[in-house]
Amino acid sequence: MARRAGETSYKDTAFGIIPRSQLIPLELEGIQRAWDFVLRLSQTTEIAITPELLKKLHEIGFKWIFPDLGGRFRKVDVQVSKHHPPKFIKVPERMADYCADLAERIRHLPTVQDPKFLEQLIELLAWAHHSFLWIHPFQDYNGRIGRLLTNIILLNLDLPPVELHVETPMRRREYVSALQRADEGRMNTLQNLFQEALQEAAKVI
């Protein structure tokens, strides 16, 4: 396939080998499909956050674009910047532990009326997001599923969804820097991003 001027990235998809510019709208539709599934599920029950749910979200969102990868934990070892996530063979075990740990942390959140609720919620969201990305369970789209997971947590708490702005190069750099600091045990920057997102969400309800 001849490369188009200005295109630097191509992906082999269910629609053929396409440039990044054509993939972006498919990705946006995919995450909307997954979010629509979450909203339908939430109408009948509190959503149990399990490895099976996360794989289902990834499947709904991306299998129609990448049939061989969507809905499956990665089968390769990867490196993300300087971070080496767990070996792929450890991912199912790590994700089971992660979901159990997350459920326990949510169970110990104070009530919304408690003065400490917001502080502990921010700490929880930052921990949940970073820990999920640290494991890097899927070969691709971990960030999108991780951000969707944040909103499932909030939905279960009867709180409005938030948006971590990562679309522009500057905001993307801020987000990646916050995650890298969290890799080093410095969670403040990532917590600040969640605090800003929660404040922004509160303004529109």
> What residues are labeled active site?
136
Contact 151, 41 (CB under 8 A): no
Contact 153, 73 (CB under 8 A): no
Contact 47, 38 (CB under 8 A): yes
Structure tokens at 125: 């969201």
Contact 94, 86 (CB under 8 A): yes
Backbone angles phi, psi at 80, to 5 degrees: -115, 105
Largest CA distance in the chain: 60
> Cα separation of 205 and 127, whole Å?
25
Closest C-alpha to 141, from 93, 69, 90: 69
